[in-house]
Amino acid sequence: MAKVLWAIIAVAACIVMAESLKCKTCSVGLLGSCLQSSEQNCTGSEDRCFTGKAEFDVSGALSFETSGCLASSSCVNSTGTILGVGFTITRTCCSTDLCNAASTTHLPITTALSAALLVSVWASGMF
């Protein structure tokens, strides 16, 4: 009886894994490049893959990107301010496996941080 129960659990787990949506993930992207990407299976209410971009109004050149799994109810754009600087967050969602797989270039962390520093100095008007 225990073997039958384990077999049913194993089959159910395989079905759930086969039906989950697979998305590209990027925790932090900077200047159009993902610092480290991977793939993940979405879980629970996360029924969409997304790519998100936060752009600051101050320069237009500084933006951060992210991607992964998201609930369809969160696939909305938003605006706000941080320390008096306006920003816009744009989320683009899709619902097929790896549909958010934009081509990314992996940068060494020192290169990415140097680029971020250069952009922030440039945006402040020092150059």
For the stretch 3-19, pLDDT in tens is 544 444 443 444 444 46
Q: Is the pLDDT of residue 22 over 70?
A: yes
- Angle 6-8-9 from CA coordinates, rounded to 5°: 65
CB contact at 8 A, 47 and 71: yes
To the question of pTM greater than 0.75 for the whole model, the response is no
The CATH number of 2-123, from 3.30.390.10, 3.40.50.720, 2.60.40.420, 2.10.60.10, is 2.10.60.10
**Residue 123: which of 78, 82, 85, 83 has the closest Cα?**
85
pLDDT digits (tens, 9 = 90+) for 34-92: 888 899 999 999 999 999 999 888 766 678 899 999 999 999 999 999 888 899 999 99
Percentage, residues of the chain above pLDDT 70? 62
d(CA 50, CA 29): 13
Return the pLDDT at 120: 55
